[in-house]
Structure 1
Amino acid sequence: MKESATYHIIEREEWMEFYQNSVAPLTKEELDQLKGLNDQISLTDVEEVYIPIAHLCDIYMKQYEALQEQKLHFLKKDVQMKPFIIGIAGSVAVGKSTTARLLQMMLSRVYKTKKVELITTDGFLYPNKILEERQIMDKKGFPESYDMARLITFLGDVKNGAPEVKAPVYSHEVYDIVEGEYDILTQPDILIVEGINVLQLPQNEQIYVSDFFDFSIYVDADSDLIQQWYLDRFGVLLNTAFTDPTNYYYSYAVGNRQKAFDMAKDVWRRVNLQNLEEFILPTRNRADLIIHKAENHRIDRLFLRKY
């Protein structure tokens, strides 16, 4: 095992030895339903990589529950467990949504009596109307495009056990917030929060999203690979959007395909790559666990924080 100043660097072949003799708690059909549009993942990946990750989450969660119980005893208060919150960060198109959905299903199967919920921070983007008014539509996904005060309030309410908490819904089909539609959370035991911005440091806020996390994951890959995955995903979106005039990608799907891909490459360069390099990648070393991907989304090594 290699070491850095803050991480144990573990090759996949070594990682898979840490928690053996386990069978993937889902079928191939279920796994296919969880995948992102162009993500590559197999049951072998689940057994060799993700089952040890779920076991690691279990270690962190038991420590968290023990600490909460001891603190409440110290304060002479009744024990009332707060939800365990997992943050998952990474670039657009790197596969973090698949990781989040897979982890949610696995933890739901492992903890049959616990309520495991998942939300994405896309729902806390400002609506397109506001982005246009502020002239930052081309900065969608950058820190200024999120209603961070609302996201922080949401996480505070969840962490403090509010009976019911609403998360806004974002649609990738219409490329905007769905007005009047919400995901309702009713006191989850485990909450997974997935988004490009979840490990970013505060701008003007005194607290930030990651302050609510009890375990955090960053999904990582070289930017050239992520660009290719982004363009591959764009192609899949075009192939599925041409029958739906309400889909945001419809005009690109029925138009000149080369021009559509030229536009996508420009968006990657001006928006997604800049956002990755300036605001997302600098948060990588704040994660408890880094999952590194190589060609074809293959996980080749993991970085586990020492301290």
Structure 2
Amino acid sequence: MSKLESRYLNDLVVKVRQELSRDNPVIIGISGNIAVGKTTFAKKIVSVLDKEFSDKSINLVCTDSFLYTNKYLKENYIFNRKGFPESYDSALINDFINSVTSHQRVKVPVYSHKINDISEVKNTINKPDIIVIEGLITLRKPLNDLISISIFLEADEEDVFEWYQNRCYDSINYVSANYENFNNNIYNIWVEVDKLNYQKNIEPTRNYADNILIFNDVHELVDVKDQLVNQGGINHAVCN
């Protein structure tokens, strides 16, 4: 962990401690491009918070869990739009929001990256003190209305594509003889689906993050841009 990252996480602990004085749970939202490192960084935050607030209930939620099942996406001819706003179950998201804000227990599906689909496992969120939410739609409405502290992760596009490519290698078995075709398919999906979704639906939410965290090609935090604009408080995202 770099000195900058350690300092940022320490500052985050201070912010969380301040927010814990409020009635509602503290909700940290993390967004950014696909494969930029949202899940890894979210887990780091949870680990730090677990140590600092051992008496508090802390949950990690990935917005992939709000995706429709692959079966539903295929039946409704939007499987190739997976990750776009229309591929998420808005009723499930609203139920999650209503449960959290009314301090009720809610069960959230768990997305499995092994099968790239919603699994049969459920994650129970029961009156948490702190929730870390990470994913593509975290800073979009309606989830953004929940966020107490918002973070956007960023890196050079070439680096993000390489990380994306490596993720594909790890998750899909391919025959070495079809290596070129496999790479071409990855690139085409990146350009036609993921890059398009990022430019249209994810990158615009960058402007509404409290902090933009910039990483280099080895996932080291190298810069933090502070975008707090409301004196004495957090700048909540207002993005459709």
With structure 2 as the length reference, what TM-score do the two structures score?
0.89
Aligned-pair identity in percent equals: 33
Equivalent position SS for 1:295 = coil
Match of 2:167 in 1: 233
Give the Cα separation in 2 of the matches to 1:137 and 1:222: 27
**Contact 1:85 1:214 (C-alpha < 8 Å) held by counterparts:** yes
Deviations 1:72-107 (A, max 9, x none): xxxxxxxxx321111000111101110001100111
Q: Which has the larger radius of gyration?
A: 1
Question: What is residue 189 of structure 1 aligned with on the other side?
Answer: 129
Partner of 2:88: 146
Mapping for residues 213-292 of structure 1, pairs under 5 Å: 213-237=147-171, 249-250=172-173, 252=174, 256-292=178-214
**CA pair 253-117 structure 1, distance change in 2 beyond 3 A:** farther
Letter in 2 for 1:289: N
For 2:41 and 2:30, the matched residues in 1 are separated by: 8
Task: Show the counterpart of 1:125.
Answer: 67
Aligned-residue offset at 1:254 = 7.4
Structure 1 residues 255, 183: CA separation in 2 closer, same or farther (over 3 Å shift)?
farther
Contact 1:94 1:220 in 2 (8 A): yes
> Which position in structure 1 is the counterpart of 2:34?
92
- For the aligned residue pairs, the C-alpha RMSD in angstroms reads 1.7
The answer to whether structure 1 residue 111 and structure 2 residue 111 are counterparts is no
1:13-44 Cα deviation digits (max 9, x unpaired): xxxxxxxxxxxxxxxxxxxxxxxxxxxxxxx3
The answer to whether the 8 Å contact 1:50/1:103 transfers is no
Distance in 1, matches of 2:80 and 2:110, equals 21
The aligned amino acid for 1:272 is D
Instruction: Report the 3-state secondary structure (helix = DSSP H, G, I; strand = E; otherwise coil) of the residue aligned with 1:87.
Output: strand
Q: Does 1:52 align with 2:15?
A: no
Name stretches of at least 5 consecutive residues in structure 2 with no aligned partner.
230-240
Return the offset for 1:50.
Answer: 3.3
Cα drift, residue 268 of structure 1: 0.7
The alignment of Structure 1 onto Structure 2 pairs a total of residues equal to 229
1:255 offset after TM fit, Å?
Answer: 6.7
Contact 2:4–2:222 (CA<8 Å) still a contact in 1?
no
TM (norm. structure 1) is 0.70
8 A Cα contact 1:156 1:212, kept in partner? no
Measured in 2, the distance between the counterparts of 1:54 and 1:299 equals 11
Instruction: Quote the residue 1:61 is aligned against.
Output: 16
